[in-house]
Structure 1
Amino acid sequence: MKRILNTNEFLHGGDYNPEQWWDEPDVINQDFALFKQAKINTVTVGIFSWAKLEPEEGKYDFSWLDEIFDRVEEMNGHVVLATPSGARPAWLAQKYPEVLRTDNLGNKRGFGGRHNHCLTSPIYREKVREINTKLAEHFGQRKSLVLWHISNEYSGECYCELCKNAFREWLKNKYGNLDNLNHAWWNTFWSHTYNDWSQVNPPSPLSEMGNKGMNLDWKRFITDQTISFIDNETAPLKKITPNIPVTTNVMAGNPLMDPFAGFDYQKVSKHLDFISWDSYPAWGNDNQTTAELGRNVGLIHDFFRSLKHQNFLVMENTPSRVNWHSVDRAKRPGMHELASLQDIAHGSQGVLYFQLRASRGSSEMFHGAVIEHRHPEQTRAFKDVTKVGKDLEKIRPIVDTNYAKARVAIVFSYDSYWALQDAESYSKDKKIWQTIQKHYRYFYDHDIPVDFVSPEDDFSEYTLLIDPMHFLMSKAYIEKIDSYVKNGGQIVGTYISGVVDENDLAYMNEWPKELQDIYGIEPLETDVLYPGQANTIIFKGKEYKTHDYCETLINCTGKVLAKYTSDFYQDTPAIVEHEDGLGKGYYLACRTDYDLLEKFYEEIASDLIPELPICKSSSKVSIQVRENGNTQYWFVQNFSDKEAKIKLDKELLDLIGGKKDKGEVVLKPFESKVYGVE
């Protein structure tokens, strides 16, 4: 396999800001002594360090960072060097106020916070490029430099005149003329027709928030503007250090563990060498079991890994607590090792933390850290980190493996997600991501690898596509899945799919012909249920509840697998199977609990369960596989606070325990085993 990082070990370390302690050398000396003790081999430096790197315009001071590089190289470690664009210095904001953002009410932001910069500002782009060039020239040949970490958690929007004009130019390039724009946005409604480009503004409470085409194009524009800013950031890095890969840290929401939706990560990922993400689940919360949360974290690992269909990196996580959670609870004993090895099991090439040493003051002083404010060697977090460091050394041979190849893929479209969330119909909380989590569950519980794909990806390698709530479908995508099924693929579609085209305009007269061919039905209307209401369907002789959405289907030419039991659509189809060429389409017309989905996927996907040399007795045990050619490693993890049993079909080497196991093995609560064949 091709390494995404030029290292022969897993990265273990994280964000380090020694500039906070530069006048206290004893603190930094203590840090490096503790790094050695905790098996820390990587530091990420330079994040938010612009004021230290360039204290005055054009005057650079890299000497302090040189010392850190020297010390890391003395311990044969690795440096991830960040560009500082996520937080500009005060002198820059004062001299060039255009670099600061304007909110959607027209208010110019003052200096402060993070990510308070205009993505369009030519001056800010110039200043970012200048300092990135200096950093690449100065540090690019250091032997410890393994990775560029550009900015930090890109996010946000700006509504200044520069951004408004850029949006208008983007629209001109897309539509060519106002007639095309007016048609795409259906501007005859409410007399919104434009006759001059200057009349077009971004969506705002000050003007227009209800135009669906405008809202969708604004999200697309923000995506492209972010990509343009990223390309500006990376250009000097790629020119001066072409062999050093570039990444940035993407985000997931909490507690839902859904991907950040401010812009399209699937498109942004094409401009990065690989994906990193910041993992902050609420371990030990009071509304999920550890097994439930672990499954959702596994899903988001799979989503981010799939952005480039290769291994990734957990750029940030916490060894203990998260100061911005609603309840700042620390991980329970055993959970940090469990979570860290789950990272690796799903394809991460390391476990990095925010932060290595806790800040003494300011906004993140109480965020969990490897080195806490008092008695750092004695904290449970430090001991847990040390244990993970030792684990990563023991499983070092796995660094040159990939996550197992998937035959199942879930389709996710940012365009469709945005459009459906914006739709003033169905219900306020459409639970799109929760629906994806429900469909994912069968495969996770049965240790079946899953990828995520965008509508632009190649589907030919997958046996089964799952395509839930795909509200916005372009004609090109519809033709693509029709071809996929006719050539032997299987697809599962659901309610609220194929409703609008790429401009968020409704498909008229009939459902697109290709979708009729795939699924053998046409959805006619959607009955939206209140939270306390339900219908039922009969599937395989058993009754199952439906919630939220029940579509009525007409023109059914497929095999009816389930019917509704009541209401005006009683005895009409609820689940349909239909042959299309060499493949099949399955349509689920209603939202159900997991018990129905489990039975449904048991019928159509049980043959995808992989043959493993390990048999588990509980779905709370996860088995994930990393492989390289014929060499495989099995991560067996107990996401329960109770013991669990597994049975090995043959003798396997426990890499962490350093012994061979065979037959029945008892996993302690939250225990992980990593097995290989000696």
Structure 2
Amino acid sequence: MTAPDRLLYGGDYNPEQWPEEVWAEDVRLMKTAGVTSVTLGVFSWAKLEPRPGAREFGWLDRLMDLMHLHGIGVVLATPTASPPPWLGRLHPETLPRDENGQTVWWGSRQQFAHSSSTYRRYAAAITEDLARRYGRHPALRMWHINNEYCTFDYGDEAARGFRDWLRARYTTLDALNEAWGTAFWSQRADTWEDVIPPRRAQYLRNPAQVLDFRRFTSDALLECFVAERDIVRRHSPAHIPVTTNFMPFWIGQDGWAWAEREDVVSVDIYPDPGDPLGGQYNAMIGDMTRGQAGGRPWTVMEQAAGAVNWREVNRPKSRGLNRLWSLQSVARGADAIFHFQWRQSRQGAEKFHSGMVGHAGEEGRAFAEVKRIGAELALLEPEVAGTRVNAEVAVLHDWHSWWAGSQEARPSTRVVYEDVVRAWHRALWEAGTTTDFAHPEHDLSAYKVVVVPQLYLLTDAAIENLLAYARGGGRIVCGFFSGVADVDDRVRPGGMDARLRELFGIRTVHDWWPLEPGDSVDCGEFRGTLWSEELTAAPDAEVVAACRGGELDCLPAVLRRGRAWYLSTLPEPSALRTLLADVAADAGVRPPLPGLPAGVEAVRRGEVLFLLHHGRDEIVVELPPGQRPLRDLLTGAEYTGSVPLGRFAVVALRGERGRHGAA
């Protein structure tokens, strides 16, 4: 929990970029905007330690005291994401090397070798002194460790760390050789020194080696986080939580493993303002982060008040869009909404990345919207802070499967894992179904429906978990190319695990038929996209939809056996939405508000029903007949019968009994 019954609001504050006389103006504007917390120190290592061993804490002392004086809490960051230039100059072993062996130099950020003992020593030292000085400061609300852990390192110290990690995993070289299938292409390792990271090679690299290096990298970075986490915990009261910010749906970290070691799960969310489905992406990241948090409230650590600076074209957010997406995150369980950053930079690589206070200053449109969000969060806080979002449908996701399925040599590079997951989540979102994300080995018994967009790699434990869920009466809908490989990326006999083939009514997987760009498969009432498979059904399976014409004529596109469905293609969006909605309805899953117009999202958090309109044209949402009056927490307006929604509108409806009774 960030704090009991609180909604935190603010952003990254980088006052070292500005003269000190600006600080008082910042505080005035923060109070105007309803800011309750700011993040300090994320990239301040060179300011705090301008030379080895020096400590310059005076400026941070004054800031911490200033924030406390004005009732603004501090999320204090360790500065270890961006080492100062002197560290790389004096200790080049702290600089990472890419897969080509080239040094990644200072001059940007994240230029640290995660396995470097020297880097870890310096990072621990600055963290220790920071925590000792501020761990009990009255302004401290939360610790923020590092920032967006995303470094890959293929250097010599990483190679030694990789070998140590492999020894712990496999114990013997024989076991490693077996797991990696090194009989192929004469890759057998005779000594541990033969084992290196998957650096640039003449041709395709060993997929199992690449998979294990992904695992090792996630674990090595996690070691860095845990080391700093433990330091700040020693110097802080037990109620001060520790977090780090995930990048949204990023391939580099096993988010499930990391979330278990955080007190609060945090994420940075940057939907594209030019994407008509940006709201669905925002919802998906919220659902995933809430899943990682085990259903507890979570934190938006970064979002943009307007434009970012790293897309090919960086559009600002249209009027009302920042408010819509901020409140959408609250509706999906966030108890903290932060932006990057508070004041837009005038220099540096992110001077065109928006801020809560943009280049236009206090008079800018972005700041006006920032003020409105702050005021509305204060209105919502008594009713939603600390409450949960309940979902009856789970979307299964696993980073190890993603890593294995994204190997260099695969049937189709057009199959992009995150795009497939997003397509399935979109179908559920558009059907009005609230979803959780879940790990395939976690307890699934609370869900009425489990969907598997694509899990190429499934462990034996995950398969047994799915079978137990099915035996318990749960419904499973599984997408193509799933259950193909085991934990070592070894293709299972028959091209799909036999237990899963029996579950879904598949007699034989003859071959995979990925589709060329622009191709599709005629499946009768819909068209299949991206992929198809040559399957034959078991005698007791129902062919719900079959391919028509071509090499796969009459073969299953959608197969069902009992309460388990298998899709050998990716149905077009409307067909996937209909199929999943039908399965959910048959399982007794009911949307928070049925019959919504397109573009309107309904989410219930606690006893508050949020209606969010992702369109620009005014529409009307009909309430169920006989519904007692509902009051909008944001405006005080009462509604019976229907609710009008304008451009990017949000209403938060609650019945007379509020959070202690049904809304």
Fold similarity call, TM over 0.5:
yes
| Residue correspondence of structure 1 range 206-605 to structure 2 within 5 A | 206=201, 209-241=204-236, 242-252=238-248, 259-283=249-273, 285=274, 288-289=275-276, 292-309=277-294, 310-374=296-360, 376-422=361-407, 424-509=409-494, 511-522=496-507, 523-538=509-524, 543-556=525-538, 557-579=540-562, 584-605=563-584
Identity %: 31
Amino acid at match of 1:672: V
Q: Which runs of 5+ in 2 are unaligned?
A: 657-663
2:603 aligned partner: 624
Counterpart-to-counterpart distance in 2, 1:117 and 1:308: 28
1:666 correspondence with 2:653: no
Query: Taking structure 1 as reference, are residues 191 and 101 closer, same or farther at Cα in structure 2, changes over 3 Å only?
Result: same
Aligned to 2:17: 20
Structure 1 residues 568 and 8 mapped into 2: Cα distance closer, same or farther (>3 Å)? Answer: closer
Structure 1 pair 160/573, CA: closer, same or farther in 2 (3 Å)? closer
SS at match of 1:532: coil
Contact 1:203 1:209 (C-alpha < 8 Å) held by counterparts: no
Residue in structure 2 matched with residue 106 of structure 1 by the alignment: 101
Instruction: Please give the secondary structure, in 2, of the residue aligned with 1:337.
Output: helix
Which letter does structure 1 place at the counterpart of 2:411? Answer: Y
Q: Which moved more, 1:485-494 or 1:634-643?
A: 485-494
Return the alpha-carbon distance in structure 2 between the equivalents of residues 611 and 587 of structure 1: 24
SS at match of 2:228: helix
- In 1: Cα distance, 2:359 partner to 2:550 partner: 63
Are positions 1:606 and 2:585 aligned together? yes
Is the alpha carbon distance of 1:194 and 1:99 closer, same or farther for their aligned partners in structure 2, counting shifts above 3 Å?
Answer: same
Aligned Cα root-mean-square deviation (Å): 1.8
Corresponding residue SS for 2:346: coil
Map of 2:615 onto structure 1: 640
* SS at 2:304 equivalent: coil
Query: Deviations for 1:33-91, whole angstroms, at most 9, x for unmatched residues?
Result: 11111111211101111112122322212221121112211221211000000111123
What pairs up with 1:160-175 in 2 under 5 angstroms?
Answer: 160-175=155-170
- Give the 3 Å change call, closer, same or farther, for CA 657–677 of structure 1 in structure 2: same
Larger deviation, residues 399-408 vs 448-457: 399-408
After TM superposition, give the deviation of residue 616 of structure 1 in Å.
Answer: 5.4
Per the TM alignment, residue 615 of structure 1 is displaced from its structure 2 partner at its CA by: 5.7
Measure how far apart 1:131 and its partner are: 1.4
For the 8 Å contact 1:247–1:276, the answer to whether it is kept is yes
Q: Residue by residue, what CA displacement relative to the aligned partner does 1:167-199 show, whole Å, maximum 9, x if unpaired?
A: 111111111222111121111111111111111
Relative to structure 1, the CA distance from residue 615 to residue 211 in structure 2 (aligned partners, 3 Å threshold; closer, same or farther) is: closer
Q: Do 1:638 and 1:667's aligned partners in 2 also have CA atoms closer than 8 Å?
A: yes
1:554 CA displacement:
2.3
Distance 2:328 2:240 in 1: 27
For residues 247-294 of structure 1, give each alpha carbon's deviation from its aligned partner in whole angstroms, at most 9, with x where no partner exists. 111112xxxxxx1102211211111112111111111x1xx42xx221
- Amino acid aligned to 1:677: G
> How many residues get paired?
648
Question: What pairs with 1:107-186 in structure 2 (closer than 5 Å)?
Answer: 107-186=102-181
Residue 569 to residue 146, structure 1, CA distance change in 2 (3 Å) = same
Q: Cα 1:577–1:128, aligned 2, differ >3 Å: closer, same or farther?
A: same
- Decide whether aligned partners of structure 1 residues 113 and 308 sit closer, same or farther in structure 2, where only a CA change above 3 A counts: same
Partner of 1:36 in structure 2?
31
C-alpha contact 1:640 1:669 (8 A) present in aligned 2: yes
Closer, same or farther: CA 209–563 of 1 in aligned 2, 3 Å: closer
* Equivalent pair of 1:304/1:312 in contact (CA under 8 Å): yes
Inter-partner Cα distance in structure 2 for 1:12 and 1:97: 39
User: Structure 1 stretch 326-335 or stretch 596-605: which is displaced more?
Assistant: 596-605
Distance in 2 of aligned mates of 1:436 and 1:638: 23
Partners of 1:572 and 1:90 in 2: how far apart? 61
Q: Whole-Å Cα distance in 2 between the matches of residues 147 and 96 of structure 1?
A: 31
Q: 1:359 to 1:532 in 2, by over 3 A?
A: closer
How far apart, in 1, do the equivalents of 2:440 and 2:209 lie? Answer: 21
Task: In structure 2, give the amino acid aligned to 1:548.
Answer: L
> In structure 2, how many angstroms separate the alpha carbons of the residues matched to 1:261 and 1:237?
27
Between the aligned partners of 1:55 and 1:510, the Cα distance in structure 2 is 57
Cα distance between partner residues in 1 of 2:357 and 2:591: 43
Q: Would you say the 8 A contact 1:247–1:275 is kept in 2?
A: yes
**How far 1:206 moved relative to its partner?**
4.3
Deviating more after overlay: 76-85 vs 174-183: 174-183
SS in structure 2 opposite 1:61?
coil
Deviation at 1:399, TM superposition (A): 4.1
**Distance in 1, Cα, partners of 2:63 & 2:4:** 19
Deviation at 1:510, TM superposition (A): 6.6
* SS of 2:279 mapped into structure 1: helix
1:367, distance to aligned residue in structure 2 (A): 1.3
- Of 6, 10, 21, 1:9 maps to 6
Q: For 1:188, which of 175, 183, 191 is the aligned residue? A: 183
Q: 1:123 to 1:189 in 2, by over 3 A?
A: same
Partner SS for 1:650: coil
Cα deviation digits, residues 517-548 of structure 1 (max 9, x gap): 3111132211222123222123xxxx211223
Deviation at 1:20, TM superposition (A): 2.0
CA drift at 1:7: 5.0
Residue 438 of structure 1 deviates from its aligned partner by 2.3
Return the letter of the residue paired with 1:587: Y
Distance across 1 between alignment mates of 2:398 and 2:166? 21
Q: Determine the C-alpha separation between the residues in 1 that align with 2:591 and 2:346.
A: 51
Contact map agreement 1:398 1:626 (CA 8 A) in 2 = no
Out of 656, 661, 664, the position equivalent to 2:634 is 656
Instruction: Work out whether 1:71 is the aligned partner of 2:49.
Output: no
Q: Helix, strand or coil: the match of 2:150? A: coil
Deviation, 1:507, is: 1.1
Q: Indicate conservation of the 8 Å contact 2:432/2:591, yes or no.
A: no
Instruction: Quote the Cα distance in structure 2 between the aligned partners of 1:528 and 1:442.
Output: 22
Gaps of 5+ in 1: 253-258
- Could you state the TM-score of these two structures normalised by the residue count of structure 1? 0.92
Q: Distance in 2 between matches of 1:476 and 1:469?
A: 17
Whether the 8 Å CA contact 2:559–2:566 is kept in 1: the answer is yes
3-state DSSP class of the match of 1:551? strand
SS in 2 for 1:675: strand
